Structures are given as C-alpha cells and as structure tokens.
Structure 1
Amino acid sequence: MDGFHDLGGVQGFGAIPHTINSLDYKKVFKQDWEHLAYTLMFLGADHMKLFSVDEVRHAVERIEFRQHANTQYYERYVIATASLMVEQGVITQQELDDALGSHFKLASPARSNGRAALSGRAPFEVGDRVVVRNERVTGHIRAPGYVRGKEGIVVHRTTEKWPFPDTIGHGDKSAIFQPTYHVEFKTSDVWGGACDDGFVVVDLFEGYLDKAPQQGAASMVKTNAAGHGVPA
C-alpha cells in the first residue's frame, strides 16, 4: 500500500536535521505523552491479543492523507490502535467521541484482504544478486516503493523468521514465516545521477525478492511497450 508514509527519494523537503539517539527514554520520546502510544499499541497486540503489530502498521497506512500530514508520528499510532479497537468491537466510535469531546477521526476501512507470500523457493544466499519485485498492491506491503524493480546484493540473511507482512497485516494468521534479507543497493541505481555516490541497505522479506537475471541473460531481454520483459 503506497501512501504518505513511503517518502524515500521524494524531493522538496529541504535539509532534514538528524541526530543519532541512544535508547535513553528522554531521547527516544520527545514528549512525555508519546510512550503512551506504544503502550496502548502493545496492550492491544500483546496483552489483549486483538491484533498484530503489522495490522497496526497497516492501520497507520489507512489514515487519510490530510490527517496523516497534520499529525505527529506517535499520534498516528494512537489513531491506528483506536481504529483497530473499534473494528474489533472493544470500544465504539461514540465512546471515543465522548472522551475527546469532538469527533475522533479513525483510519479508513481496509480495501484489501491481503495476499499470501511466494513460497517453495530456495533461500537466497549472501552475495546473491536479487531484484525487488515491482509490485503495487492495495493492501499492506513492507517493500519500500523506491527499491521496487531495483537490483541489489544480499549482504545478510536473518536466522529468525517472521510472518509475511502482506498476509498478517490483514489479520490472516495463516501467514507464511520467512527470513528477511539486508539488500545493498547503489544509490545511483535507486535514484540516478541526482544523488551522491554511496549505498543504501534495505531489510526485505524473502517474498519481495527474485534472483536477478544473469548478465548474459539480461542482455537477451528487451522491454515491450507495456513494460514487460520479453525475449529479444
């Protein structure tokens, strides 16, 4: 699901101040109320077992664009968690409105039931050249838009596995568990000549990746008018 949250490579924001923070409470949370957003999320996800963290991420993506643009990071998690609790029948819209003293705007309803992961393939190995599947879906997806269709190199594979986000993010507990891969991309391959030389490493689930075509095979493929690779 592509939206306001996926801003990698978008220009026009000017210089963005950045500092490396420790895990000290006061540096992680800039305002005293912010930790309550995460507390509320894990109350629903872990203690009450109402939904998964991926469902919360999907609910954040479902926040209407103008509302998203006018709220802070942790406010979006309050909205997302409240939306899921209403959808699960734990609280009502009226109860939220009464507590706020005005209308509490929730995230938009989901427009997709999600999708299953690709399975039955051999795992990728460190050093493999891979290409991110160039997919656009209406539901939850954790492959950033700016690397879809791009080729990179696997530099690490996790030993742990997690449920595929595009499935579990819609509440489907049949999600296949997969490892994730740290894939290194040349910045020029991702953003062209408009950026400094360097590399970016993105953590991607196995289901988002394909083996990159071999150099010899790649030279024998052309792209037709619809953008699909066909034999030359």
Structure 2
Amino acid sequence: MDGVHDLGGVNGFGAVELESNEPVFHEDWEPIGYALIFVGAADLNAFTIDELRHAIERMEPRHYLTSTYYERIVTGVAALFVEKGYVTHEELERRAGGRFPLARPVTPGEPAREPSISFAPGETVQVRKDHFRGHSRMPKYVRGKRGVVLHQAPRFPYASAAGHGIEAKHEPTYHVKFDAKDLWSDAAENSTVVVDLWESYLEKV
C-alpha cells in the first residue's frame, strides 16, 4: 500500500546511522517477538509472510515511524492473531498491563493479472503507474519508469493477493535494471538500480 513504510528514495529523514558490530538483538524480548513469526506462519499456519508485511504497513503512521524493527513485527503479528481469532485485543491489553496498539483495518487485495504476460532477458519493460490501497511490493520510486529485464526468477505467490489471505497465483519475479538518473535527477552518473518485481507489476513497452 502507499504509506509511510515506502521510504525508498525519500529525502528528509537524515543519514542512516550505522552501529559498529551491531548485534542481531538489543533487548531480551526481541528474539521472543521475532519467534512469533514462526509460531503464526509455520506452526499455526495462521498467516503468510505477505500478510504480516501488510499488517506492518497498516500500522498507524506515527506508531510505525517511532517503532523499532522488532516492535513492528510484534505489532503486526499481534494484529493478525486478533484478526484471525486467536486472541482478543482486550486480552492482549490485559496481559500487557496497558494500551496495546494494533494495525488499522485490512485493505482490499488485488489478484494477479490474467492472462499472464511474460518478459525476456534484455527486454525493456515499464512498471505500472498504479497506486495501491492494498499490499504491494512495487516501490513508488519505480512506478511508471522503464527498465531492462536482467533475469527471470522462480515463481512465488503474487504478493498483492497473498498479503490479504486470498488465493495467490504463482508467477515469476523479474530482476529489472533501471538507470538511476531516470529515478532521481541527482543520482550518480552511470549508476543503476536493480529491483525485483512480480510479473503483474510490469507492462510491455
């Protein structure tokens, strides 16, 4: 969906701060929070990883921007457990001892394109210009832009459907190379960006 999480190529957030020898986890609760992904997606088969991504996208913008990586995961998983009926919001807040914000309501999904349109390595393609209320793995900074297909990757469930728990057609993703100057006017000369995009996000030129 088009939200605050889609920060690729966005200015105004300052430099990325790097932590030397950064550990995987900073707090004792973080590995437990991360393990909830495997409990929900693998053990219970309650949701897909794309549904989790969409739940995180649906966080209230100020909550999203002020949360850490693992806080977003816990919020997304908790929201899905409530939506799928495994726990109530009231029970979460009782166990947390206070307010427990969840993701906002789920938005509509999008089925994959029918019929399929395949692309060959070396072919110039254009990314769709559409804006999404639902889950999308198509960054805003490449929409409407032209690039060249480098490689066709194996088939995966179409994310814009899988993110909503609806039947997701398996279709290939493509590694598409863009001239960075076509994406950002101040990009370095002779630089390129490669983005992995589902077949349904691409159009013939």
TM-score range, shorter chain: over 0.9
| 5+ long unaligned stretches in structure 1 | 213-232
1:71 to 24, 47, 67: 67
SS in 2 for 1:4: coil
Is 2:202 the partner of 1:209? yes
C-alpha distance in 2 between matches for 1:74 and 1:140: 20
State percent identity of aligned pairs: 46
C-alpha distance in 2 between matches for 1:154 and 1:83: 37
C-alpha distance in 1 between matches for 2:18 and 2:176: 23
Q: Alpha-carbon deviation of 1:110? A: 1.2
Match of 2:94 in 1: 98
2:37 to 28, 36, 41: 41
Match of 1:163 in 2: 157
TM-score by length of 1: 0.83
User: CA 1:148/1:87 → structure 2, altered by over 3 Å: closer, same or farther?
Assistant: same
User: CA 1:190/1:106 → structure 2, altered by over 3 Å: closer, same or farther?
Assistant: same
Q: Alpha-carbon deviation of 1:203? A: 0.6
TM-score by length of 2: 0.93
Match of 2:127 in 1: 132
Letter in 2 for 1:124: F
SS in 2 for 1:179: strand
Q: Alpha-carbon deviation of 1:175? A: 1.2
Q: Compare CA radii of gyration and give the structure with the larger one.
A: 1
C-alpha distance in 1 between matches for 2:149 and 2:27: 38
User: CA 1:74/1:119 → structure 2, altered by over 3 Å: closer, same or farther?
Assistant: same
C-alpha distance in 1 between matches for 2:120 and 2:25: 37
Q: Alpha-carbon deviation of 1:103? A: 1.2
User: CA 1:53/1:147 → structure 2, altered by over 3 Å: closer, same or farther?
Assistant: same
Match of 2:50 in 1: 54
Aligned residues: 204
Letter in 2 for 1:176: K
Alignment of 1:112-151 (within 5 A): 112=108, 114-151=109-146
Letter in 1 for 2:137: R
| 5+ long unaligned stretches in structure 2 | none
Q: What's the C-alpha RMSD, in Å, of the aligned pairs?
A: 1.8
1:158-217, Cα deviation, whole Å (9 max, x unpaired): 1x2111111111110x2110111111111100112x2222111111001100122xxxxx
SS in 2 for 1:71: coil
Structure possessing the higher relative contact order (Cα contacts under 8 Å, 6 or more residues apart): 2
SS in 1 for 2:184: helix
